[in-house]
Amino acid sequence: MRIGIEMAIQFTRIEFLTRSKGGDSCRKAAYNARTIVKNKQTDIKYNFSRKKDNVYHTVLIPDYVNQEFKNIQTLMNEVERTAKKRKQPVVEGWS
C-alpha cells in the first residue's frame, strides 16, 4: 500500500458571462486566480487574494499571441474592451 500518491482531479464547467446579467470578466478572473484585477472601464478593483483555496492557476496562450496576455488583468481588460454588445457573452468560462 502506497501512501501519499498524487493524482490529478479533473473537473470542467462552462459558464457564459453577459453584461446584461451583471457579468464582469475581470471579477471572474480575479476570483478564479485568487488575485487582484482592476477593471479599467469601471475603475472597480476586485480582490480575491485573501481566499487561499486555489492550488494552481495559469493562463495558456499560443506562442504567436502577444505574451502580455499571460497577465490575467491585461487579458480580461482586453476582453471587456472588445466585447461590444450588451447581450453578447463577455466570457465563455472553462474551469
Helices (H) and strands (E) in the chain, counts: 2, 4
pLDDT at 16: 77
pLDDT at 43: 95
Residues 6+ apart with CB under 8 A from 54: 32, 33, 34
The ranges of the chain with pLDDT < 70 are 1-13, 85-95
pLDDT at 90: 59
pLDDT at 5: 63
Structural domains of the chain in order of their starting residue, each with its CATH number? 14-94 (3.30.930.30)
What's the half-sphere exposure (Cβ side, CA atoms, 13 Å) at 57?
Answer: 17
* Contact predicate 17/91, CB 8 Å: yes
